[in-house]
Amino acid sequence: MKCIIHRRAEFSASHRYWLPELSESENIERFGPCTNTPGHGHNYVLYVSMEGELDEYGMVLNLSDVKQVIKREVTSQLNFAHLNDVWEEFQTILPTTEAIAQAIWHRLAPHLPITNIQVFEHPELWADYEGNSMSAYLTISTHFSAAHRLALPHLTLEQNSEIYGKCARVHGHGHNYHLEVTIQGDIDARTGMLADLVAFQNAVNEVVVEPFDHTFLNYDIPYFAEVVPTAENIVVHIRDLLDAPIRSIGARLHKVKLIESPNNSAEVYGLPLKEAAVKYQQEPATARV
């Protein structure tokens, strides 16, 4: 029987975004404060996923051996290092989160049966790489606070209460929603980016966070005047809102996850390319952010 196991590791390192073929003003325009000399640092968290058959001892791999491989091939080399200088890969590609994940994959693949490399630059930004050429995933997390009421307009309060319980109360209730948005794209061989991170963050802020934050969803967001704002319906609507803006920055929306509370979350994957293209063509121009 096959099983996937995960091993966590950490390293602290600095990096700088700077392309010598660009002028100082062009670098600053493109990378902002990340161009500052000599760079800036992060406490990186690494998750290595591995798949294999269970052996007679009930293990896929001996985790002590895995720990030593990760230390030898990755963390001992990257910990307290300046990433631009430590590995030859980063002489030609900038050490972005997604480029680091890709580089770690290639360092570990000869030694471990890896299925995914996940690198957290900080708790609100991480990348996944699965060994698919230049293709990678980049995720940002953010939050907004909003109120909602779960009720169908054609039902009585008693009937809605039977379906939605306390969530049907007339004055509604609120949540601090945690939102994770994952995009997919090809890592640029020079910049190390699958999409402009600032443009990605701006799209999520402008299309979702700012319009939704500190609202009563049923009354302030037109879509939810007719649709019950369950976590499921909210995350589907967010997915639909973000599809076109994410494509406009050269990436594909892979997944959206909405955490309503520590006990309740919902997630949906991006529209298939053909379905997204048809939907986009059918929408009025004013709906395309």
Locate 194 and state its tokens: 């699958």
- Distance CA(53)–CA(42), nearest Å, equals 35
Locate 279 and state its tokens: 């939907």
Q: What are phi and psi of 21, to 5 degrees?
A: -75, -10
Check 10, 214, 275, 283 and give the catalytic one.
214
- Distance CA(121)–CA(139), nearest Å, equals 11
Per-residue CA distances from 126 to 48, 142, 148, 209, 220 (Å) = 13, 12, 30, 19, 32
C-beta of residue 108 within 8 angstroms of C-beta of residue 73 = yes
Locate 242 and state its tokens: 């973000």
- If you search the block for the tokens 């708790």, which residue do you land on? 123
Check 82, 167, 178, 232 and give the catalytic one.
167
Q: Which amino acid is at 233?
A: N
- Beta-carbon-side half-sphere exposure of residue 262 (alpha carbons within 13 Å): 0
- Catalytic residue status for 167: yes
- Distance CA(71)–CA(218), nearest Å, equals 51
Check 98, 121, 180, 260 and give the catalytic one.
260
- Distance CA(105)–CA(125), nearest Å, equals 18
- Distance CA(156)–CA(96), nearest Å, equals 54
DSSP codes of every residue in 242-259: HHHHHHHTT-EEEEEEEE
- Distance CA(250)–CA(150), nearest Å, equals 36
- Catalytic residue status for 214: yes
| Beta strands at 264-269 and 135-148: parallel, antiparallel or unpaired | unpaired
Task: Tell me the catalytic residues.
Answer: 167, 214, 260
